[in-house]
Amino acid sequence: MSTEKEKIQAELTQYNASAEKAIARFPERPNLPEQRLYTPLDIEKNDYADDIGFPGVYPYTRGVQPTMYRGRFWTMRMYAGFSTAEESNKRYRYLIESGASGLSCAFDLPTQIGYDSDDSISEGEVGKVGVAIDSLADMEILFDKIDLGKVSTSMTINAPASVLLAMYIAVAEKQGVTAEQLKGTIQNDILKEYAARGTYIFPPRPSMRLITNIFEYCSKNVPKWNTISISGYHIREAGSTAAQEIAFTISDGIAYVEAAIKAGLDVDAFAGRLSFFWNAHNNLLEEVAKFRASRRIWAKVMKERFNAKKPKSMMLRFHTQTAGSMLTAQQPNNNIVRVALQTAAAVMGGTQSLHTNSRDEALALPTEQSVMVALRTQQIVAYESGLADVIDPLAGSYYVESMTDKIEAEAWDYIKKIDEIGGAVAAIEKGYIQKEIQDSAYKWQMDVESNAKIIVGVNKFQVKEKPVEGLLRVDSSVGEKQKQKLADMKAKRNNDAVAKALAELETACKDENENLMPYILDAVRTYATLGEICGVMRKVFGEYEAHTNL
Amino acid sequence: MMEKRIRVLVAKPGLDGHDRGAKVVARALRDAGFEVIYTGLRQTPEQIAEAALQEDVNVVAMSILSGAHPHLFPKVVELVHEKGMKDVLIVGGGVIPESDIPALKKAGIAEVFTPGTSTGDIVDFIKAHVK
């Protein structure tokens, strides 16, 4: 064995000498990673059985299921929603007819921050980045003629996740579908809202209570529901590196697990329903390594730190979205190619579901035609590329294995650092995570501006372009329409029932031992609005105030 | 005597939480020698105009990625002017379709910076147009 190693070492020395000679005549491109070639020596510390192993087996480096895409492909889940519930319902049905296998709801900002469409703070924002939901009445329209017993639905909702989940359960009830049958995910990840995404409402403590209330309620009543999607996506979009993305997110995950255990839950009762959400960025091989490293870290965290016993509790299952921040407004068709490569990374990294961005999203919300190209990109990768035919195809690559180890080590360093600060909540309150992300974002921008990093069409290969035509416009009358609908609904509902449900919710909020989910569900059934319900919680819990340092 | 430093309020109007761009621009402006105040997220047009007055800035630079710019940008201009700050240079940026820009300029936004703009261009524009 050691003679083999010595032989490789000797040949590597020779190779390096010849490479240096070649560089003297043909200098290498600037700004490349230091190491140009990877050999068996780079992964000699790697133990196949312990570190890499088999798919479906701890530490899950090669994937969480034994057969991965040979059984069925990842869920092709296109994030969509805009304007009114009527418009978004049309888009969802169009996506399902086009072969999308799951829904993913985008809500407008007032909905995400717990304000009704008629609130003055909502002006100009209603229906813009997603669909406006004020009450159960909107939710009934949103899922009209969509069988909630069959479809799986992901909802990008965080601070008011409990309310939207309650509305979903209530719509299902009306369709005759029980909560036990429901499949889907709520994002419900408040920590990354403080650190990177910005749609927080309440301070950390009551927010963590709402989250653990949901874990507990779902473990008993909505067993197939993914109760949280612990998200690195937005941390990466805010500018982090690949290692920071998984490190900060896994630290958030640790905080949720700790909170739930502290609330008296058994780790194996809820951990199997935790899911993750990663970014698929431009550097294909680095991304594949990142996905693999994240599975290995989480498995170790759950087994060694939290003594989880069930294999499901140790499996990092994840959704992926291609990187929105890597789309360019310049030469938008180039984005189709970027998204295809990012899709390849997500698939070779073993994602459970995927949203592909559309080429026009650096300019506006996507049109139906560009969404179709994005969905077709996934279908081409699935059916034509061969990438989904074998499991974890890049395993054993000297480079990818070595990169997987490197990202894992870098992430552990951050996780330890955050532990020392006192965990993710403390690290966010101190601004540590935000500062790390900001520094990486600034470095990226400066690298682009100094041409150390090339973005095709932005700082190289630019052309003079005509403005892009045919962008999607959200009808500006949506705000008025939504206000009118809300007024009509309020005139029809039983306001005494609403007041009673809200009063009961308020009392429950004040008692930390109460699980709020049943109270929220009762309020939702009376057609109490999102703003009214969140208003009650704002009154008891207060609001989070961010302190931003540049 | 040293020339008075240009004071810039970097602001995030509306409910949009995407502030990567705003923070990168704020830092680049600071590195270019400006004095920069960042409002943080979720500011109403009234809060931004008030901050501009209190901080006595020369420039208000706003960022919106949510599509609420047609409503919020002009509103800020109106309120800043109402407070008597007619000389303040007001610029904006974000995910803004080309076709929206003429109306924003007509409403008093001096320049609109779209994705891919270098921070150097923003610095140059401010230096050339600040009063």
Choosing among 3.40.50.300, 3.30.1450.10, 3.20.20.240, 3.30.70.3040, the CATH entry for A54-449 is: 3.20.20.240
The four Cα atoms B38, B44, B49, B54 give a dihedral, to 10 degrees, of -60
A436 to chain B, closest Cα gap in Å: 12
Closest to A274 in 3D by CA, of A290, A255, A292, A291: A255
**Which residues, other chains included, contact B93 with Cβ-Cβ below 8 Å and sequence gap of 6+?**
B21, B25, B61, B62, B63, B112, B113, B114, B117, B122
Name the residue of chain A whose CA is nearest to B41's CA.
A198
- Best mutation target, A125, A189, A466, A476, to test chain B (most B CBs within 10 A): A125
Predicted pLDDT at A120: 94
Tell me which residue in B16, B27, B95 faces A364 most closely, judged by beta carbons: B95
Token digits for A320? 């992926």
Tell me which residue in B14, B24, B66 faces A442 most closely, judged by beta carbons: B24
**Helices marked H in A222-318 — which ranges?**
233-237, 242-262, 267-270, 284-300, 311-314
Q: Are B74 and B104 in contact (CB under 8 A)?
A: yes
Label the pairing between strands B35-38 and B59-64: unpaired
Interface of A with B in 458-487 (CB under 8 A): 458-459, 467-468, 471, 474, 476
- Model confidence at B80, pLDDT cuts 50, 70, 90, reads very high
CATH dotted code for B7-129: 3.40.50.280
Contact A128 B68 (CB under 8 A): yes
**Which residues, other chains included, contact B61 with Cβ-Cβ below 8 Å and sequence gap of 6+?**
B8, B9, B10, B11, B25, B29, B90, B91, B92, B93, B122, B126
Token digits for B20? 């990567």
Find chain A residues with C-beta within 8 A of B70's C-beta: 124, 476
Predicted pLDDT at A548: 80
Predicted pLDDT at A101: 80
Predicted pLDDT at A257: 98
pLDDT along chain A (550 residues), means of 10: 88 96 94 94 93 97 98 93 92 90 93 97 93 98 96 96 98 98 97 96 97 96 97 98 98 97 96 97 98 98 98 98 97 98 98 96 92 97 98 98 98 98 96 97 97 96 92 88 97 98 98 97 98 98 88
Find chain A residues with C-beta within 8 A of B98's C-beta: 363, 467-468
The separation between CA B24 and the C-alpha centre of its own chain, rounded to angstroms, equals 13
Q: Percentage of chain B surpassing pLDDT 90?
A: 96
Predicted pLDDT at A81: 86
User: What is the three-class DSSP state of A270?
Assistant: helix
Tell me which residue in A123, A364, A550 faces B26 most closely, judged by beta carbons: A550
Q: Are B64 and B13 in contact (CB under 8 A)?
A: yes
The separation between CA A361 and the C-alpha centre of its own chain, rounded to angstroms, equals 17
Interface of A with B in 217-246 (CB under 8 A): 237-239
- Model confidence at B1, pLDDT cuts 50, 70, 90, reads very low
Tell me which residue in B36, B66, B114 faces A129 most closely, judged by beta carbons: B66
Q: Quote ipTM for the complex.
A: 0.95
Contact B15 A122 (CB under 8 A): yes
Q: Are A391 and A68 in contact (CB under 8 A)?
A: yes
**Which residues, other chains included, contact A495 with Cβ-Cβ below 8 Å and sequence gap of 6+?**
none
The mean pLDDT of B73-102, rounded to a whole number, is: 96
Predicted pLDDT at A475: 83
In whole angstroms, how far apart are CA A23 and each of A17, A27, A35, A451? 10, 5, 14, 22
**A203 vs A209: CA distance, rounded Å:** 10
0.90 exceeded by the pTM?
yes
Closest to A167 in 3D by CA, of A175, A276, A209: A175
Find chain A residues with C-beta within 8 A of B41's C-beta: 198, 546, 548
The mean pLDDT of B50-68, rounded to a whole number, is: 97
Burial category of A42 from C-beta neighbours within 10 Å (exposed 0-12, middle 13-18, buried 19 and up):
middle
Q: Are A297 and A412 in contact (CB under 8 A)?
A: yes
Closest to A187 in 3D by CA, of A208, A221, A210, A157: A157
